[in-house]
Amino acid sequence: MNGAESLVRTLVKGGVNVCFTNPGTSEMHFVAALDKVDGMRCVLGLFEGVVSGAADGYARMTGTPASTLLHTGPGLGNALANIHNAKKAATPMVNIVGDHATYHVQHDAPLTADIEGIAAPVSHWVKTSPDAKSVATDGAEAIAAASAAPGQIATLILPADTAWNAADGVADVPEIIGRAKVSDSAVEMAASALRSGEPTLLLMTGQALYEDPLNLAGGIAAKMGAHIMSQGSNARLQRGAGRVSVLRIPYVVEQALDVLKNYKHIILVGAKIPVAFFAYPNTPSLLAPEGCEFHTLADLSDDMVDALERLADVVGAKRSDAVRQEADRPGRPTGALDYDTIAAALGAALPEDAIVADESVTTGRGFYPLTAGAPPHCWLNNMGGSIGLGMPLATGAAVACPDRKVLCLEGDGSGMYTLQALWTQAREGLDVTTVIFANRSYAILKGELAKVGAGNPGRKALDMMDLSRPDLDWLMLARGMGVEGSRVSSADELNKALDAGLATQGPYLIEVML
């Protein structure tokens, strides 16, 4: 058994069963080993940002890491933006990056690069295997590092000769650092805040947004007269009819300041102290009002379910106290397409158990309320702010959950960064309906330009935010990668296109003309 085979067998034994790949010469032994080992599904992406974004989507839905296979430093560079996004989402991920043979690096061949240097800013754990006999152990350590609570990025660099030389065998994954129990004092401080009689918010993200802990939080809120809210972006929120409904902190600073302005206490459950996405010259970075007290019930890596159970016990709240969202779909909209009719069409059509990968940016700010009462579903956000995650994320979620419909809500500007994801969806027959909101601009930037006080833009500035001349034709782009679809210009057409997409077993794309 060579080093590559020892690594693939170690990955499979350690529960890593999917590898999203974009290999090159240095990874050929790893690719060959995939043939010899059962239990590893390989999914090819034609650009590395698809690979890393798909690994993120997969792990968000399964809770276990996928592996990626990347070609030397530049391949890792192409994957970097979506690894950044995954890191911010606390996603577990095992990156395998091939490198030149150890003895070849000194010669500075064209692809020689400082791979550890490129990996470090987006990884919690980085190691270069020194020899073939170390590869299995290093791979097992990478799995443990990736799986450490709440989820980490592990990057293992595999010089070509460590892949082709003889190895000793398979390694077992060492002990994984799991979620920690929070202290009694953390529970007691949160309970005190809830008992203060002053306006109190449970601000949550991560594991706290799954159905059961939401019931606990909802019970606590109902019993104590508190509110619950989530971060603006969240890795995976379980919502819909019968579940506890959670508002997100708005992206727009003035709106965020407004929804938080009355709270005297904010209990953090996995969440961070709320902060503006960007700074602007005349708005604060911090969103909570002055004097608001923060109480950390649980960090992102803590056992939030246990923490909420204990808090519920202390304040005498039960899951059954929670207010659940009633089933309530909007009617199918008619007339022109605008943000409200689009939201209504989505709310009316969203199927049960759907997974929504949301990178709708400007267009989607109103989608949340009108989908709240749809059948139970999951909602995935971009947590790192680097656009170009949506379609890869949907791809990975569909690999993880072949029996669930994935709905990808994507801005046209955002979608262009990683449009190659559509090809992977076609090859793998993934059940993803992608809705492209074609406003032909980086619409968000037009607002941002005003908000940062940069004055009235002229033609040159506007051209840098404008995706027209020529207009993109998303149907052509999708067909060029084997994905069929339709273009809609009215609410009625959108309703029908959603019906068609959701009825398709496989990828489908809807271009919504705004």
Alpha-carbon span 83 to 25, nearest angstrom: 22
Which tokens sit at 357? Answer: 């990968």
28 is an interface residue for a copy of itself by CB under 8 A: yes
Using CB under 8 A, which of the segments 186-194, 315-323, 324-332, 422-430 binds a copy of itself? Answer: 422-430
DSSP secondary structure string for all residues of 344-366: HHHHHHPPTT-EEEEE-TTGGGG
> Taking the CB of residue 388, how many other CB atoms lie within 10 A of it?
25
At closest approach, how far in Å is the CB of 497 from a copy of itself? 18
Question: Does the N-terminal peptide bond of residue 470 adopt cis geometry, omega within 30 degrees of 0?
Answer: yes
Closest among 263, 186, 179 to 221, alpha carbons compared? 263
Shortest Å distance, C-beta 281 to a copy of itself: 6
CA 213 – CA 337 distance, rounded (Å): 37
Q: Does 477 bind a copy of itself (CB under 8 A)?
A: yes
Which residue, 375 or 457, has its beta carbon nearer to a copy of itself?
457
Binding to a copy of itself (CB under 8 A) within 88-117 occurs at: 88, 100-101, 103-104, 107-111, 113-114, 117
> Residue 9 Cβ, how far from a copy of itself at the closest point, in Å?
15
Cα dihedral sign, 309-314-320-321: negative
Q: Which is nearer to a copy of itself, 162 or 215 (CB)?
A: 162
Alpha-carbon torsion 99, 172, 68, 80, what sign?
Answer: negative
**Contact positions with a copy of itself (CB under 8 A) in 340-399:** 382-386, 388
Q: Does 171 bind a copy of itself (CB under 8 A)?
A: no
Binding residues for a copy of itself, how many (CB under 8 A)?
102
Select 110 or 197, whichever has its Cβ closest to a copy of itself: 110
51 counts as binding a copy of itself under rule CB under 8 A: no
Q: Are 28 and 20 in contact (CB under 8 A)?
A: no
Instruction: Report, in Å, the least distance between residue 155 CB and a copy of itself.
Output: 13
Cβ distance to a copy of itself smaller for residue 22 or 215? 22
Comparison of 94 and 383: residue with beta carbon closer to a copy of itself: 383
Region of 46-54, 145-153, 166-174, 395-403 interacting with a copy of itself (CB under 8 A):
46-54
Q: Which of 185, 197, 455, 505 binds a copy of itself (CB under 8 A)?
A: 455
Distance (Å, whole) CA 167 – CA 138? 12
Residue 33 near residue 8 (C-beta atoms within 8 A): yes
Size of the chain in residues: 514
Per CB under 8 A, contacts with a copy of itself among 188-217 are none
Member of 3, 14, 75, 151 binding a copy of itself (CB under 8 A): 75
CB of 312 to a copy of itself, least distance (A): 30
Beta-bridged to residue 267, according to DSSP, are 202, 295
- The DSSP element (H or E) to which 474 belongs, if any, is helix 474-480
Smallest separation (angstroms) from a copy of itself to the CB of 341: 26
Q: Which residue stretches of 196-237 are H helix?
A: 211-224
Figure out which of the listed residues 465, 500, 502, 513 binds a copy of itself, where binding follows CB under 8 A.
Answer: 465
Chain residues 274-313 in contact with a copy of itself, contact rule CB under 8 A: 275-279, 281, 285-286
Region near a copy of itself per CB under 8 A, out of 44-52, 207-215, 345-353, 394-402? 44-52
| Kind and range of the H or E run holding 54 | helix 48-62
* Residue of 426, 436, 497, 514 that binds a copy of itself (CB under 8 A): 426
Q: How far is the CB of 274 from a copy of itself (least distance, A)?
A: 9
Build a one-symbol-per-residue string for 215-254: x at contacts with a copy of itself by CB under 8 A, - elsewhere: ------------------x---------------------
Q: Which helix (H) or strand (E) element contains residue 424?
A: helix 421-428
Distance CA 330, CA 411 (A): 23
Tell the smallest beta-carbon distance from residue 106 to a copy of itself (Å): 8
Residue nearer to a copy of itself on the CB measure, 164 or 375: 164
Q: Would you put residue 388 in left (φ > 0), alpha (ψ -120 to 50) or beta?
A: left
Task: Give the start-end residues of each E strand in 194-248.
Answer: 200-204, 227-230, 237-239, 247-248
DSSP code at position 208: G
Contact 395, 432 (CB under 8 A): yes
Enter the DSSP assignment of 265: E
CB 64 to a copy of itself: min, Å: 21
The answer to whether residue 273 forms part of the interface with a copy of itself (CB under 8 A) is: yes
Instruction: Name the residue nearer to a copy of itself (CB basis): 323 or 464.
Output: 464
Looking at the Cβ atoms of 32 and 305, the one nearer to a copy of itself is 32
**Burial class of residue 402 in the structure, from the number of CB atoms within 10 Å of its CB (0-12 exposed, 13-18 middle, 19+ buried):** exposed
Minimum Å distance from CB 439 to a copy of itself? 14
Pinpoint the alpha helices (H) of 240-389.
Answer: 253-260, 304-315, 339-349, 367-371
Q: Which residues pair with 20 in a beta bridge?
A: 43, 68
Least separation in angstroms between residue 455's CB and a copy of itself is 6
Q: Of residues 15, 63, 120, 247, which one binds a copy of itself by CB under 8 A?
A: 120
Q: Looking at beta carbons only, is 349 or 509 nearer to a copy of itself?
A: 509
Among 6, 10, 26, 371, indicate the residue that binds a copy of itself (CB under 8 A).
26
Residues of span 398-417 touching a copy of itself by CB under 8 A: 413, 416-417
SS3 at position 184: helix
Helices 72-88 and 48-62: angle between axes, nearest 10 degrees? 40
